[in-house]
Amino acid sequence: MKNLAKTKVGAIVASNFRASRVLTAHHIDFCCGGGVTLEEACTRNHADLSQVQKELEETFKTQDAFNFQELELDQLIDTIINVHHSYVLATIPALRAYLDKLCRVHGERHPELYEINELFIASSEALLSHLNKEEQVLFPYIKAMVESKIKGFPLSRPHFGDIENPIQLLEQEHQDEGARFQQIAELTNQYECPPDGCQTYKVAYAMLQEFEEDLHKHIHLENNILFPAARQLFKEFSFSQS
């Protein structure tokens, strides 16, 4: 990839997902913050641009095992649902139970747990609503566009008018959850269990960290790959000009 410094972070990760490991190591947000250039991201996060570029170039020497950009949009949607939506639905109940227990047992000594728990409850409720919007509103229409293009049958304008309407809403919700998990990461000292933490404490923090990492991958696939492609496909239908 030429001129990495001037390339948007989201595009870098879209071209090779292994880049996400490098950016994460330097605390650079490639999902919600993927719309800025690498140079800008490094400046914001006080990262050494030349070092980050060097690490990325080393990473690019190894061909990525899978390129999500090669998937058809309906296949990408199925991947997002089967991998990331399923993970969220399966993990939320256990994490909520662990955090409730931590508040009961350790809350007096670690009052930050109450805020962490409140943030995760808010996040889990928002995410459940978010996934429903995707699966019931936007994703079916994107699949309909794909089928219409392949089979050549006419497609009606969606009830939401323009595809920008649901996409902008979902992108804002991605931004909100990214910010919420940034707060959680700060309150947990980047998910470092305190010396007096029990096994449940360690497991809960490890699960929170894994949840955030999965959320970043999930948002990346949508913000940087699915949504731009869906916007472009929508423009191909004649009703978009009416």
* Torsion angle defined by CA atoms of residues 169, 174, 175 and 181, in that order, rounded to the nearest 10 degrees: 150
- Are 109 and 175 part of one and the same domain? yes
65 in a structural domain: no
- The per-residue pLDDT for range 110-164, each reduced to its tens digit, is 999 999 999 999 999 999 999 999 999 999 999 999 999 999 888 989 999 999 9
- Are 21 and 118 part of one and the same domain? no
- Are 81 and 31 part of one and the same domain? no
Give the HSE-up count for residue 113: Cα atoms under 13 Å, Cβ half-sphere: 25
- Residue count of the chain: 242
| Distance of alpha carbon 38 from alpha carbon 36, whole angstroms | 7
* The predicted structure's pLDDT at residue 138: 97
Closest alpha carbon to 217 in 95, 15, 80? 80
- Are 127 and 200 part of one and the same domain? yes
195 in a structural domain: yes
- Are 222 and 190 part of one and the same domain? yes
- Are 44 and 125 part of one and the same domain? no
Residue 24 pLDDT > 90: no
- The per-residue pLDDT for range 161-184, each reduced to its tens digit, is 999 999 999 999 999 999 999 999
Give the domain range for residue 40.
4-60
Residue 37 pLDDT > 60: yes
- The per-residue pLDDT for range 46-64, each reduced to its tens digit, is 999 999 999 998 877 765 4
| Distance of alpha carbon 199 from alpha carbon 225, whole angstroms | 38
* The predicted structure's pLDDT at residue 34: 77
20 in a structural domain: yes
- Are 108 and 196 part of one and the same domain? yes
- Are 165 and 206 part of one and the same domain? yes
- The per-residue pLDDT for range 86-115, each reduced to its tens digit, is 999 999 998 999 999 999 999 999 999 999
* The predicted structure's pLDDT at residue 1: 61
- Are 48 and 133 part of one and the same domain? no
Q: By the 8 A CB rule, do 61 and 97 touch?
A: no
- Are 149 and 232 part of one and the same domain? yes
- Are 51 and 76 part of one and the same domain? no
29 in a structural domain: yes
Residue 242 pLDDT > 50: no
- The per-residue pLDDT for range 184-241, each reduced to its tens digit, is 999 999 999 999 988 889 989 999 999 999 999 999 999 999 999 999 999 998 774 4
Give the HSE-up count for residue 145: Cα atoms under 13 Å, Cβ half-sphere: 28
